[in-house]
Amino acid sequence: MKPITEYQDYRKYMSDYYEERKRCSIFSWREFSRLAGFTSPNYIQLVCEGKSGLSKKGVEGVANAMGLEGADRDYFRAMEQFGDAKSDEKKKLAFHEMQKLAKENHLRVVDSEAFQYFESWVNPVMRELAPIMPGAKPLELSRQCYSAVSATDVRHSLDFMVRAAFLKKTGEDSYEQTDKIVTGSSKAIPLAMRSMNRQMSQLAIEAIDHLPPEKRHMTGVTLGMSEPTYRWLIRKLEMLRQQVVAIAAKEKGYDKVYRLNLQLFPLTKGKEA
């Protein structure tokens, strides 16, 4: 079975534990639930299927049943909090705890680098800006940004991206992009992406307030549409995004960093409300 830090979904971890035990010995959902202290014979199965959750006492019972101790037990607690948190802020705190525990025990959290990258707008901006300003100090890079960012935050961003291999250092304060694509597949990535989208939306508001029209392009339309039309438009927008990415990938002589937001969201409730 994979190390626990390769999981972000506690239900998946419990399911894999069950399948591993079942493969190696006579083991049932009834036995799993009994060992965890539940009177219902299929309670653990319901949790793994997402039909029920775990209380604090239940978390400890399941950890006992799986023989988790020390850092693995702490990681399982944090993983349950991440999975069942009701707000993005609580999810972030839980995921950071998972990262902290893994780092302290020299283990790796899958997609943690992508999560950290998408947490701050400074990272993608510096990934584009630093390579076209070889030799520039963090203060010089920070002054190129319309939105306020400190030289310290720029330095932290650059150091992180070099460690994560999103940038490669080619000399003193000189960088180039690697071929590594910044992406991720874990459940933590959408959480970081929501944070990124909020930050970029705020930067768009600042651009409206502080940049003249000739330096920005902001348009929009309010319209009614059916579900099939909505799906068609989503496909068209995704095709456009991919085309823009392909064009940008071929760009060699750029001197500015832009952000393109593609936003489509409902203003009213539909029949399903």
What pLDDT does residue 32 have? 96
What is the Cα–Cα distance from 16 to 36, expressed in whole angstroms? 16
List the chain residues with pLDDT less than 50: none
Domain limits of the chain? 4-108
Give the closest residue to 59 by CA, choosing from 88, 40, 81, 42.
Answer: 81
How many CB atoms are closer than 10 A to CB 110? Answer: 18
What pLDDT does residue 110 have? 63
- Its sign, for the CA torsion 15, 17, 23, 29, is negative
With residue 174 as reference, give the H or E element that holds it.
strand 174-177
pLDDT tens profile 175-224:
999 876 676 656 778 888 888 999 999 999 999 999 999 999 999 999 99
Q: What angle do CA 93, 107, 21 make, to 5 degrees?
A: 95
* Averaged pLDDT of the chain: 90
Work out the angle between the directed axes of helices 88-104 and 188-210 (0-180°, nearest 10). Answer: 120
Phi, psi of 215 (to 5 degrees): -105, 5
Take residue 207 and report the two structure tokens written for it: 């651009």
Q: Tell me the one-letter amino acid at 95.
A: F
